[in-house]
Amino acid sequence: MKKIAQVNFLLLIFFAVMLLTSCTKGFIPESVEPTSSTNQGDTVTYQTHISKVIYNSCISCHGGSNPQGNLLLENYSQVRNSAESGMLIQRINDAADPMPTSGLLPAQTRALFDEWVQNGYLEN
């Protein structure tokens, strides 16, 4: 008699756990992957996103009267030209020979450039 009660108790716990897990599953939202690296869903433009990265990470060498690699990245058309040639995108993703020379930018920052290219190099 006692044994049957014990088995019933275990069964009860088993079903309670099943019920709980099956319920909570429905309430836990699927982890939301950011669809855009801007995290705001806004379109990447030169003015809003790209120029900031260039000014923070590139202009010290690719600006002024004697730019490194003979490459100026001071304005929209210069940055666009380098991106269109494929050179800029290649070098910011080149782990062996990265730009900036100090090391690869965070993946999310580099993804901004990919989006910018895909969206047709929007200026603003």
Which two three-digit tokens encode residue 101? 């020379």
**Residue (48 or 68) nearer to ligand HEC, CB:** 68
- Angle (nearest 5°) at CA 70 between 117 and 63: 75
The binding site for ligand HEC (CB under 6 A) comprises: 57-58, 60-62, 68-69, 71, 82, 87-88, 91-92, 97, 99-101
**Residue (43 or 68) nearer to ligand HEC, CB:** 68
Q: In a 3-state reduction of DSSP, which class is residue 26?
A: helix
In the complex, the smallest distance separating the C-beta of residue 44 from ligand HEC, rounded to whole angstroms, is 15
> Residue 72: is it exposed, middle or buried by C-beta count within 10 angstroms (0-12/13-18/19+)?
middle
Which two three-digit tokens encode residue 89? 């995108």
**Residue (70 or 118) nearer to ligand HEC, CB:** 70
In the complex, the smallest distance separating the C-beta of residue 51 from ligand HEC, rounded to whole angstroms, is 12
Contact 95, 89 (CB under 8 A): no
**Residue (29 or 103) nearer to ligand HEC, CB:** 103
Contact 103, 91 (CB under 8 A): no
In the complex, the smallest distance separating the C-beta of residue 34 from ligand HEC, rounded to whole angstroms, is 22
In the complex, the smallest distance separating the C-beta of residue 59 from ligand HEC, rounded to whole angstroms, is 8
